Amino acid sequence: MTTQLIPEVVLGLALFVWVVYRQFTWRRVNPARVWIMPAIVALIGLLQFAQVDPTNVHPLDFVLLSGEALVGLATGAAMGLLARFRPGAAASEAAAAPLPASGVVARAAGLWEARTGWLGAMLWLVMIAARVGIGFWGASQHATLVDTPAIILIMLALNRAARAAVLLARVQRLGAAPAA
């Protein structure tokens, strides 16, 4: 490992710890905020991807990236499906207040809290294991793109976006008024 990679590794570990911590804490489901992390991480990944030298891209990179994207999307969707819900602290006040008319998902904002717990953390380990395995195998086959920080960030963004989409779809099915 070169000293240039140390800040990226530290940032990656910090992001991992933060996301795993969030798997265990009850968080208010807010449709506007649930997309912030995937958007920021994707933007940073795409900006880094723009600096990749296209002459070093191996055809195997595209196959490996497709497989990794499927793993990221599948684990994110599974995290959204595994999420458990409970009425949020704002549910009692919202039951007495008129609900905004901007859609069921928007009306449910703040009424539900969600977390995935141990199963969500285990899915993170699955995603990381797939990521490391694909990275090592790809490097042994001279696929260089698959092991760049840009791709790692884009795959993380795909995971978080799939989780957000499934989570919001489930909140919409739950409706705006949680059972106390």
The three-state DSSP-derived secondary structure of 23-35 is: HHCCEECCCCHHH
Length of the chain: 180
pLDDT in tens, 132-148: 898 888 888 888 888 78
Which pLDDT score is estimated for 145? Answer: 83
Give the pTM.
0.79
**Pair 166, 81: CB distance under 8 Å:** yes
User: Backbone phi, then psi, for 27, in 5-degree steps?
Assistant: -125, 135
Structure confidence by residue, pLDDT tens digits, 41-92: 999 999 988 888 777 788 898 899 999 999 999 999 999 999 999 988 755 5
